[in-house]
Amino acid sequence: MPNDTNLKVTFCSGAGTVTGSNFLLEGNGKKFLIDCGLIQGEKLADDTNWDPFPYDASKIDILFITHGHIDHIGRIPKLISEGFTGKIISTIPTKEITAIMLEDTMHLLSRDVERGLDKIYTEDNIKKTISLWETLEYHQVLNVDHGFQFSFYDAGHILGSGMLEIVYNGKKIVFTGDLGNSPSPLLPDTEVITDADYLIMESTYGDRNHENRNERKSKLMQVIKDNYNRKGTLIIPTFSLERTQELLYEMDSMVENNLIPRMPIFLDSPLAIRLTDIYVKYEKYFNKETLKVVATGDELFDFPGLKETLLTDESKAILHVPNPKIIIAGSGMSNGGRITHHEKNYLPNVNDTILLTGYQALGTLGRLIFDGAKRLHILGEEVKLNAHVETISGYSGHKDSDHLVEFVQNMANKVKKVYVVMGEPKSSMFLAQKLRDNLNIDASAPDAGEQVTLEC
């Protein structure tokens, strides 16, 4: 053992921003990365994705992936391009979700020849990514030489999401990845951690709480019934990963228990259709209540009236299906994807409805709709918004401020230091302050690029 057993953490990106999770943990001759995600949002931020990494990719031993959202995996092909040949490790569902998500991202980004992304997002780099990948079950321990042990605990955020625990020299370090808004319709609650010495945690909702989580299902039911009674079309822009499956699961139980009238419901997203297949394949990772439903033989995401429209022609044909009907399509913030075609068609109609079920970032069409804009530009046309606009906020995939504090409270007696990352600066700083004030623990919100030492 060298004398200096301390570890260093560099917050390469994903500090001071929600997205772009990428942290370097090094010490005792080893280098590990936690996540390698895309920075998303403003154009300026997007551009920093293509700056060189602040480390030598060829010297990284292992890349650990907390979950399959693109802001945690999206720059893996770039890491491969820069010479990474180490192992990639995650839970089993995360590996399969990543393969689908990267392929989908490749179709979009490889068109950007100007910035050389056609050389980064190649079939070949995605194949290499998957060939380097190994998996762990939750709680399974991976021993790595020089005295490191790694394991994943269920974060309850999306299927396969894991908090990464590192045991080294008797100390425990936990990277949370994203923390789920438990209880979730499908997933088990975030596992309780009581004994971390160092915690690196997300803070997407560090400064605010969610509203009406308990009413989310009844609100969804009401919106569906109102649309039915108006004989309208209900369009739901949604995220393909987790949110879509949550909505299908809720609708499945409503339809099969005759709580809503029968009508055509279209799942109009090739990405969501493929990801839903992964959810069906790995239903063993669902929570107890959902497993009981599985045990009755019910297919969780398939019910009378549901139609998956994989092909473009099938998608276009939805327009000619008589009302009332429901269309679920991507993307979740209406910044591209099939939903924009539906928005152009249906938003001018007073009897139709658009239902927003997730956060709408500034600069997206979804945000304009959320903010009540009456005239929109969609696919080169001016579109009047006369349809009903409904919002359900309870389906967020992230813990809110109070529940983030509650998560840390379980380890308040043990934890030496909490680093609050993966949030807008005001959100991260607010949460760090709240942890200091409410729990009397040492917490700070590091800047992107900052390096800290963990005494081990």
Per-residue tokens: 371: 């903010």
Q: Torsion angle of alpha carbons 29, 34, 35, 36, nearest 10°?
A: -30
> How far apart are the C-alpha atoms of 216 and 318, rounded to whole Å?
27
The window from 124-132, 173-181, 304-312, 381-389 that contacts Zn ion (CB under 5 A) reads: 173-181
**69 or 338: CB nearest Zn ion:** 69
Q: Please choose, from the candidates 63, 53, 278, 241, the residue with its C-alpha nearest in 3D space to the C-alpha of residue 164.
A: 63
**179 or 193: CB nearest Zn ion:** 179
Helix (H) or strand (E) segment spanning residue 427:
helix 425-439
In this structure, is the dihedral angle defined by the CA atoms of residues 428, 429, 434 and 440, taken in order, positive or negative?
Answer: positive
**38 or 368: CB nearest Zn ion:** 38
**81 or 182: CB nearest Zn ion:** 182
Considering only 178, 252, 268, 400, the residue that binds Zn ion (CB under 5 A) is 178
Q: Please choose, from the candidates 128, 333, 350, 313, the residue with its C-alpha nearest in 3D space to the C-alpha of residue 226.
A: 350
> How far apart are the C-alpha atoms of 90 and 129, rounded to whole Å?
12
Least separation in angstroms between residue 161's CB and Zn ion is 7
The window from 69-77, 118-126, 274-282, 325-333 that contacts Zn ion (CB under 5 A) reads: 69-77
Could you tell me if 234 and 326 are in contact, meaning their C-beta atoms sit under 8 angstroms apart? yes
Q: Is 90 helix (H, G, I), strand (E, B) or coil?
A: strand
Least separation in angstroms between residue 325's CB and Zn ion is 31
Least separation in angstroms between residue 35's CB and Zn ion is 10
> How far apart are the C-alpha atoms of 10 and 15, rounded to whole Å?
10
Could you tell me if 390 and 369 are in contact, meaning their C-beta atoms sit under 8 angstroms apart? no
**156 or 232: CB nearest Zn ion:** 156
The phi, psi pair for 245, rounded to 5°, reads -70, -35
The window from 55-63, 176-184, 258-266, 343-351 that contacts Zn ion (CB under 5 A) reads: 176-184
**178 or 250: CB nearest Zn ion:** 178
HSE-CB at 201 with a 13 A cutoff on CA atoms is 35
The single-letter code of the amino acid at 77 is: P
The window from 9-17, 83-91, 177-185, 373-381 that contacts Zn ion (CB under 5 A) reads: 177-185
Least separation in angstroms between residue 13's CB and Zn ion is 15
Q: Is 242 in the site for Zn ion (CB under 5 A)?
A: no
**156 or 270: CB nearest Zn ion:** 156
Q: Is 246 in the site for Zn ion (CB under 5 A)?
A: no
Least separation in angstroms between residue 219's CB and Zn ion is 23
Considering only 17, 27, 66, 69, the residue that binds Zn ion (CB under 5 A) is 69
Q: Which residues bind Zn ion (CB under 5 A)?
A: 69, 178
